[in-house]
Amino acid sequence: MKRTFRFVFLFVALALSIGAFAQKGFIDIKRLQDREFYPVSIYNLGFVGDSDRYFYTKTGMELVIGDKKGEKEVLNLKEGELKNTLSSFFSIRFVSDKEFAYLSKDGIYYYDMDNRTVRKVCDIPEGAEHLEVDYEHAAAAYTIDGNVWYSKGNSAPVQLTRDGGNGITYGVAVHRNEFGIDRGFFLSDDATKLAYYRMDESMVRQYPLVNTEAREAEAAPIYYPMAGMTSHQVKVMVYDAVSGTTTELQTRENESIEEKEAYLTNITWNPESTLIYIQKLNRKQNHMKMNAYDVRSGRLVKTLFEEKAEKYVEPESPIYFLPEQSDKFIYLSERDGFNHAYLYSVDGQLIRQLTNGEWMITSIEGFNARGDEFYFFATKDSPLESNMYSCRMKDGKIRRCTSAKGTHYNVAFNKKGTLFLDAYTSMEEARRVVLLDGKAREIRQLHRAEDPWQKLDKPQIDVFTIKAKDGTDLYARMIKPVGFDSKKKYPVLVYVYGGPHAQLVTDTWLAGANNFFLFLAQQGYIVWTVDGRGSANRGYEFESAIWRNCGSIEVSDQMDGVNYLKSLPYVDSERIGVDGWSYGGFMTISLKLKNPGVFKTATAGGPVIDWKWYEVMYGERYMSSPKDNPEGYEKSSLLNYVDNLEGKLLIIHGAQDNTVVMQHSLEFIKRCIKKGKQVDYFIYPDHEHNVIGKDRIHLYEKIYEYHKANL
Amino acid sequence: MKRTFRFVFLFVALALSIGAFAQKGFIDIKRLQDREFYPVSIYNLGFVGDSDRYFYTKTGMELVIGDKKGEKEVLNLKEGELKNTLSSFFSIRFVSDKEFAYLSKDGIYYYDMDNRTVRKVCDIPEGAEHLEVDYEHAAAAYTIDGNVWYSKGNSAPVQLTRDGGNGITYGVAVHRNEFGIDRGFFLSDDATKLAYYRMDESMVRQYPLVNTEAREAEAAPIYYPMAGMTSHQVKVMVYDAVSGTTTELQTRENESIEEKEAYLTNITWNPESTLIYIQKLNRKQNHMKMNAYDVRSGRLVKTLFEEKAEKYVEPESPIYFLPEQSDKFIYLSERDGFNHAYLYSVDGQLIRQLTNGEWMITSIEGFNARGDEFYFFATKDSPLESNMYSCRMKDGKIRRCTSAKGTHYNVAFNKKGTLFLDAYTSMEEARRVVLLDGKAREIRQLHRAEDPWQKLDKPQIDVFTIKAKDGTDLYARMIKPVGFDSKKKYPVLVYVYGGPHAQLVTDTWLAGANNFFLFLAQQGYIVWTVDGRGSANRGYEFESAIWRNCGSIEVSDQMDGVNYLKSLPYVDSERIGVDGWSYGGFMTISLKLKNPGVFKTATAGGPVIDWKWYEVMYGERYMSSPKDNPEGYEKSSLLNYVDNLEGKLLIIHGAQDNTVVMQHSLEFIKRCIKKGKQVDYFIYPDHEHNVIGKDRIHLYEKIYEYHKANL
């Protein structure tokens, strides 16, 4: 409140003195994360059972139900009414036209909308972790004290394993969440069978994190296989709840280390729950086999097809069985340079490529009722946007299902595929939810969030392309100071990421920027970002350009951005700073050290310094192993550029970082000391790879004050 | 050489332009540790056997021999002539009038001065560690792979233990080098028996240091008992080389934890090698028993006397048997408030106090030939100085043996006590060695080091006393900028230590300051230091004033210094910074947080933040245990003052610090983050409690640049 008062005061004072330039106010760095500076959302978008009635929830547990004629029903689901809900923000899912399911502390419950009654349909012990839930079948898999449990309906929960712990891990994503793996449990479609990963890390070197919360600090080691080192070994187990038996899938062709260390990715059940498909990838990540295993015997039934690449194959999505023809499935592959859909028969025969072109499918979202069309998100209209499309399989005809320009991040459709609930954001819309008909025509607006920056002096954000040296278009974002005057000179802060699986410039609210960048612009900086080679959503060649040579082409692309900046009359070329985290930390230090004199200040968080200290999966995909690519490792290691360090560089690291371990920054600091180079360092003692929560404000201040003092 | 040339150039240029103010040159921060900026020394001062001939060595292995008439003989001991010497700087000791002994890689050798021949007198395997050597008896104790070995003459080395390692430690000082303990082996006077510590740390919590040099970082735990926690357990074993038996001294009265954790300090053999005296101290450190043990049976023979104190008893020196009356010994005690000598009979009867007064004995150095006088260093003439004195035991008459004002740090005397080789330093003499007669009259100067600062613009150093609030005199040192002008205003850097066992202001070269402080003065800072309560050499009351209340009286004394500074017209009170390491780091942060607004900048290295994280011996002596003194711990914990943090504070820590572990600074940083307070942090990844060697220059730059940028 104090702060608001000051803003009002400022407004009056400046209005009087400057007149025309009506200042609304600057954001306080301490308030960058306040809820009021984020667009309001609605949650749980979906359709009620097979009906045409849609639903969503608002914060405060308000359930709204409507149809194309209007919003009919608003239920205030007070906490008392739902038993033991996990939090005030909760997830619901309709299991029929009148019942929705939700998860509580002790099980799955169904809420009857007509009678306003609640019944428990599945018992889950309190304290269960890593839950995988099938609401329709009232089943769940989870861990207790590291071991696997299974619950179905009102039967007593069953413990499936006893050897969890001491290097044997259940219930979590294996292979460090690479290859689209985001969980450890896979219930069959009828929920009577459970496939689960068993990860043995006992042979993996442990990285010694340290817990300083204890009375006396204690080691808190994590299993962390580094590039080229011994990796963990994963198995897939299948439990059959009917027979009560557990089978190990025979995923290893022999007992070689290569077979033991193979990546078992994208586990998919067939609709009959008799087979499991695993996209098995060799450790070098250049050879994938699409294998089908019989769950009863555990035996390999067939290798449906294989995929090889000179650089890497990166299977990131499961297979999608056609709902009405379970002998066919859709598979997504980057094999033609862009992620596209391929129709296969279950014997492994490619029927045909369903989509193609210089754009990519980012996910498949389902099928229409007849099963002759599938819905997907793609970059077809622009790599900055994400729209939902449908593809008619018989002729490959593509139709756009969402109409507004921008990034559609949550789209639900009714069973018939005639109604779409569409949540999206764009540079023009902070957040908006509309109901569309089957021809992408807007029926009604359900929600629209005001841009929180409307009440502040919002810096101008421009998105455009620049040319890389070789003529490639690169998307760039420039945020200009409030009251920008092209006759003045402004300092620039370059914010960089530069690595794969990320895209910073998008057609979203603030164009992918955040409140901190707009704060910086209010403080007089031009904030600049380019998505160069290595970044996502531009196709395989664009993203894989960094292969075996990180810190090269993507650094060059960033320098093309800097050279563009330097060509602008309003850029103060002597005052360019750079900031980045993780791969962006690697980029920040690479940029500073490989281009002495260009960046006056640099702040690098959780930076990779030498890829030999990064983990095996991501590390070897992009850099091969240190043994196979010694030149690449040597050339990219920032230890080798310390002699070039001049000016100010602040490295920041979370002491609990289990992604980019502190060995990186500590060894870099050590090298700087040996070389007599001054460098600054800061640690967030209880943070992992990112500084999150309330402490992030401290980080913003740290970064801002560093550039402010030195740029 | 380049640098020298520049200095010459500067001299000429300034001599022409300024005329009267002839500038010699400023020191380059990169060269602060260069040998040329330290006074030249001579080494190995002593007398040849029982003769009146003295000897010393110069670097380059030049052995000089002389007597009161002059220097007679100079031997260039080329490396080839001495077999397997350990280094070019080596230690020698005369075992007769014509032979000196030295240690090589594989044993003890005697060098015959007349024949210039060498013979090996004792075999020690290469790689032996923690050597304790008796040159006269050609014997040694040492460890190999953590186990105890003993060598005598040409007999084969004998292995005495087999259980070293895994928490059992031999050969090193136990109890963290407190209580005057600086080694783990104690040979009897005839070297036929060996007493040694056996330290069992298996019950002690391990602190997880991390070694980032390894391919993947690995835990490098150390046993580190923190205040109030379970401590290690020490035994004293005695090996008899004649009988080949080993006996454990029965130092425990019962099997209680208090007995097991008792401190076994100041092990002393009686001259007959039949008894061992141990000053046994309880864990609370307020009750010492002077115990004699029979080495054959291991049994306690007698508790000669006990010493108790309300605060703490701190036995720091062995007992000294009178050479001609082995039924009497001298014991040093602080019991009357100053460390003085007491004459005891071996049955434990106090015969009389030998010395007294408001000064203290710092060490006993030996007896005269008749055995009726003993020599000691003391602060009798000034707490800033250290002189050697003799005391005639029959009447307590004290005579000063060294004449020059200053700090005499190495004084050797001949058997008769008629000649003294005296090495000293003072504010006026960088380093000087003279030969004195028995009446402290100078016979001849043997060595005089030029003050290296003579070739530079040397800042003025003043030492004087100021008054604490309660009227106590405190010694202070002020270093003024070159070309000091009392009409100008200067910023001040306060350098502080403040803890026990240390004295920063002394009558030595640079008055105890170092090249870095003089560099700072050349850069325009007044560099200020006060030895307040808690510091050494002012007596028990002065030093123990911090008891159970660290961060109180000694902070107050420092503030009296700051208030004095503020009263000076040439001090810029708005620009006061503070710097300190270890206890001085604790003081630096205490000063800054407890006196908001006073210190604009602060740099604290390896700081204690909360005494509960400090080790058990030192920690409990000054703070009791956390359970016994919760208020003291709470009041001194710097975590509780973070709200007061304003302005710039840089904390520096060695990541391998095994004295003040990183838990201190990490938890402080964390508290700052939680409180939204900006603080700066830097780590020296491969340094322990001090940043030593070449990297210390980096530290100097870090500290200097921090104050320069912010003060």
**pLDDT digits 0-9 by tens, B64-106:** 999 999 887 788 776 556 766 655 557 889 999 999 999 988 9
Q: What is the pLDDT of residues A209-240, one digit of tens each?
A: 999 999 999 999 999 999 999 999 999 999 99
- Contact residues, chain A, for B615 at CB < 8 Å: none
Predicted local confidence at residue A330, as pLDDT: 98
Q: How far apart are the C-alpha atoms of A219 and B219, rounded to whole Å? A: 7
Q: Do B698 and A666 touch (CB under 8 A)?
A: no
Q: Do A210 and B210 touch (CB under 8 A)?
A: yes
Closest CA to B424 of B402, B452, B442, B440: B402
Q: What is the pLDDT of residues A315-340, one digit of tens each?
A: 999 999 999 899 999 999 999 999 99
Sign (positive or negative) of CA dihedral B704, B705, B706, B711:
positive
Q: How far apart are the C-alpha atoms of B391 and B398, rounded to whole Å? A: 4
CB pairs under 8 A between A and B: 108
Q: In terms of DSSP H, where are the helices of B424-550?
A: 515-522, 540-543
Structure confidence at residue A62 as a pLDDT band (50, 70, 90): confident
Residues A188-204 have a mean pLDDT of 97
Q: Do B226 and A207 touch (CB under 8 A)?
A: no
Is B123 one of the annotated active-site residues of the chain?
no
Closest CA to B94 of B560, B525, B412: B412
Query: How distant, in Å, are the alpha carbons of A205, B199, B264 from that of B233?
Result: 33, 6, 10
| pLDDT of A429 above 70 | yes
B417 — phi, psi (to 5°)? Answer: 75, 30
Predicted local confidence at residue B87, as pLDDT: 56
Q: How far apart are the C-alpha atoms of A93 and A108, rounded to whole Å? A: 11
Class of domain B125-318: mainly beta
Share of chain A above pLDDT 70, in %: 95
Residue of chain A with shortest Cα separation from B213: A667
| pLDDT of B532 above 80 | yes
Residues B655-661 have a mean pLDDT of 98
| pLDDT of A22 above 60 | no
Closest CA to B476 of B433, B416, B535: B535
Q: Do B683 and A697 touch (CB under 8 A)?
A: no
Residues B630-642 have a mean pLDDT of 98
What token pair was written down for A194?
A: 């459970």
Class of domain A125-315: mainly beta
3-state secondary structure of B589: helix
Q: How far apart are the C-alpha atoms of A90 and A451, rounded to whole Å? A: 25
Closest CA to A653 of A638, A663, A639, A642: A663
Share of chain B above pLDDT 70, in %: 95
Predicted local confidence at residue A17, as pLDDT: 36
Predicted local confidence at residue A643, as pLDDT: 98
CB-closest option in A216, A226, A674 to B207: A216
Q: How far apart are the C-alpha atoms of B109 and B129, rounded to whole Å? A: 18
Query: What is the nearest CA distance from B697 to chain A, expressed in angstroms?
Result: 8
Residues B485-511 have a mean pLDDT of 97
Sign (positive or negative) of CA dihedral B608, B612, B616, B619:
positive
Query: What is the nearest CA distance from B208 to chain A, expressed in angstroms?
Result: 5
> SS3 breakdown of chain A: % helix, strand, coil, rounded to 5?
20, 40, 45
What does the longest C-alpha to C-alpha distance in chain B come to?
Answer: 83
Residues A152-171 have a mean pLDDT of 96
CB-closest option in A205, A208, A662 to B208: A208
Structure confidence at residue B464 as a pLDDT band (50, 70, 90): very high
Q: Do A216 and B210 touch (CB under 8 A)?
A: no
Residue of chain A with shortest Cα separation from B204: A216
Neighbouring-strand partners of residue B276: B269, B293
Q: Do B215 and A208 touch (CB under 8 A)?
A: no
| pLDDT of A494 above 90 | yes
Q: Do A709 and B705 touch (CB under 8 A)?
A: no
Q: What is the pLDDT of residues A348-394, one digit of tens each?
A: 999 999 999 999 999 999 999 999 999 999 999 999 999 999 999 99
Predicted local confidence at residue A104, as pLDDT: 87
Q: What is the pLDDT of residues B398-452, one digit of tens each?
A: 999 999 999 999 999 999 999 999 999 999 999 999 999 999 999 999 999 999 9
Q: Name the CATH code of domain A456-710 (choices 3.40.50.1820, 3.30.465.10, 1.10.3720.10, 3.40.50.300).
A: 3.40.50.1820
Q: Residue A242: count other Cβ atoms within 10 Å of its Cβ.
A: 8
Q: How far apart are the C-alpha atoms of B496 and B605, rounded to whole Å? A: 11
Query: What is the nearest CA distance from A698 to chain B, expressed in angstroms?
Result: 6
Closest CA to A216 of B586, B558, B229: B229
Residues in CB range of A322: below 8 A, 6 or more apart: A328, A329, A330, A367, A371, A393
| pLDDT of A247 above 50 | yes
Q: Among all chains, which residue has been given the structure tokens 């000649």?
A: B419
Q: Which residue has the higher pLDDT, A458 or B71?
A: A458
Q: What is the pLDDT of residues A599-652, one digit of tens each?
A: 999 999 999 999 999 999 999 999 999 999 999 999 999 999 999 999 999 999
Q: Do B226 and A216 touch (CB under 8 A)?
A: yes
Catalytic, out of A457, A557, A579, A657: A657
B537: left (phi over 0), alpha (psi -120 to 50) or beta: left
* Most confident among A16-30, A78-92, B125-139 (mean pLDDT): B125-139
Q: Rounded to 10 degrees, what is the CA torsion of B631, B633, B638, B642?
A: -40
Predicted local confidence at residue B6, as pLDDT: 32
Lowest-pLDDT range, A118-127, A649-658, B609-618? A118-127
Q: What is the pLDDT of residues B331-341, one digit of tens each?
A: 999 999 999 99
Q: What is the pLDDT of residues B188-203, one digit of tens each?
A: 999 999 999 999 999 9
CB-closest option in B30, B208, B695 to A217: B208
| pLDDT of B18 above 80 | no
Residues in CB range of A630: below 8 A, 6 or more apart: none
Q: Among all chains, which residue has been given the structure tokens 């939700």?
A: A102
Predicted local confidence at residue A530, as pLDDT: 98
Residues A506-514 have a mean pLDDT of 98
Residue of chain A with shortest Cα separation from B206: A218
Predicted local confidence at residue A89, as pLDDT: 56
Query: What is the nearest CA distance from A95 to chain B, expressed in angstroms?
Result: 44
Lowest-pLDDT range, B173-182, B288-297, B503-512? B173-182
Which helix (H) or strand (E) segment is B420 a member of? strand B419-425
**Contact criterion met (CB below 8 Å) for A459 and A514:** no
Predicted local confidence at residue B17, as pLDDT: 36
Is B317 one of the annotated active-site residues of the chain?
no
Q: What is the pLDDT of residues A285-301, one digit of tens each?
A: 999 999 999 999 999 99
3-state secondary structure of A511: helix
Q: Which residue has the higher pLDDT, A451 or A7?
A: A451
Q: How far apart are the C-alpha atoms of A129 and A141, rounded to whole Å? A: 9
| pLDDT of A140 above 80 | yes
Q: Do A705 and B217 touch (CB under 8 A)?
A: no
The residue among A33, A209, A652, A663 with the most chain B CBs within 10 A of its CB, best to mutate, is: A663
| pLDDT of B4 above 60 | no
Query: What is the nearest CA distance from B706 to chain A, expressed in angstroms?
Result: 11
Query: What is the nearest CA distance from A641 to chain B, expressed in angstroms?
Result: 18
What token pair was written down for A314?
A: 């990166």
Predicted local confidence at residue B655, as pLDDT: 98
Predicted local confidence at residue B59, as pLDDT: 74
Residues B667-677 have a mean pLDDT of 98
Return the domain boundaries, chain A.
Answer: 1-31, 125-315, 456-710
Predicted local confidence at residue A402, as pLDDT: 98
Strands B442-449 vs B431-437: parallel, antiparallel or unpaired = antiparallel
Q: Do B678 and A661 touch (CB under 8 A)?
A: no
| pLDDT of A308 above 60 | yes
Predicted local confidence at residue A2, as pLDDT: 31
Q: What is the pLDDT of residues B208-267, one digit of tens each?
A: 999 999 999 999 999 999 999 999 999 999 999 999 999 999 999 999 999 999 999 999
Q: Do A685 and B697 touch (CB under 8 A)?
A: no
Residues A126-153 have a mean pLDDT of 97
Chain B residues whose C-beta sits inside 8 Å of any chain A C-beta: 30, 205-208, 210, 212, 215-219, 221, 224, 226, 229, 613, 655, 661-663, 666-667, 669-670, 673-674, 676, 678, 680-686, 695, 697-698, 701-702, 705, 709
Neighbouring-strand partners of residue B122: B108
Catalytic, out of A151, A231, A390, A582: A582
**Contact criterion met (CB below 8 Å) for A61 and A79:** yes
B498: left (phi over 0), alpha (psi -120 to 50) or beta: left
Q: Do A666 and B674 touch (CB under 8 A)?
A: no
| pLDDT of A406 above 50 | yes
| pLDDT of A20 above 60 | no
Closest CA to B353 of B304, B307, B393: B393
Is B175 one of the annotated active-site residues of the chain?
no
Residue of chain A with shortest Cα separation from B612: A215
